[in-house]
Amino acid sequence: MSEPKEMVIILTGASRGIGLTIAHYLLSQPAQHKLVLTSRTASALNELQNKYGKDRVEIVTGDAAEPRLAKDLVSVANERFGRLDSLIINHGALDPVKKVADSTPEEWRKAYDVNVFSAVGMVQAALPSLRKTKGRIVITSSGAATGAYQGWGAYGSGKAVLNHLALTLSVEEPAVTTVSIRPGVVDTEMQRAIREEHNKTMSATDQEKFHGLHKEGKLVRPEQPGGVIANLAVRGERELSGRFLSWDDASLKGYRTDL
């Protein structure tokens, strides 16, 4: 493969876990990529900007569910760096972790505002710019989109919507490559919360699974799916568009950084 050129990339959920790993990876590449980063808190993003420079990192803080955030991100990319090449949708929230019978429609609406409607809004805001650059959209999904866990109905169904969003975009937007990635059970703050805060809501089988993966050292390192997602944002091939793939799928071998 040829050496990737400099890209202008919007990355959501950039302050921790997979998102922070993606940011570090992209900013450490020789291609000198430019990033517009967002999260609810600025501290980790400020550290990235201080390390890699204001000429390469722009920060837009805010709640992903705020409708104005999507337009702000795209405006900053275009005004500061002159274009937009890729959008990485990496934010998300697990709450409410409750059985369907024990949750409320309002809790589901809040979850969908964060996990679904914000993503749709970002895609809509970014598409005019991405069409011009024949750009890419990479969505961090979840195995919960296709497999049910007790108490995860709002989260899992929201991720399933994002998978279908990617599939729809592959048909509607032929100039833009859109891929949805399952990162696996990753060693992040979300997994800690699953083990320590949400375990009582989950079934005994699910509790045993997540505790066992942690105890046995089988959690995926953030750098593993993070590297794949970053490389897809830079050079993802059109033939992948619309697909929902595990980060370690055979078709993504060329995008991995851990081999």
CA distance 130 to 175: 8
226 contacts 18 by C-beta, under 8 angstroms: yes
CA distance 144 to 152: 8
Contacts of 104 (CB under 8 A, 6+ apart): none
**Given the residues 155, 157, 180, 255, the one annotated as active site:** 155
**Given the residues 34, 112, 159, 170, the one annotated as active site:** 159
**Given the residues 129, 141, 142, 241, the one annotated as active site:** 141
Q: Is 255 a catalytic residue?
A: no
99 contacts 150 by C-beta, under 8 angstroms: yes
CA distances from 107 to 144, 153, 232 (A): 18, 11, 33
Sort residue 62 into left (φ over 0), alpha (ψ -120 to 50) or beta: left
Burial grade of 115 (CB within 10 A; 0-12, 13-18, 19 or more): buried
Contacts of 126 (CB under 8 A, 6+ apart): 10, 70, 73, 74, 84, 87, 135, 137
Q: Is 159 a catalytic residue?
A: yes
How many angstroms from the chain centroid is the CA of residue 165?
14
Instruction: Give, for 214, the enclosing helix (H) or strand (E).
Output: helix 204-215
User: Which residues participate in catalysis according to the annotation?
Assistant: 141, 155, 159
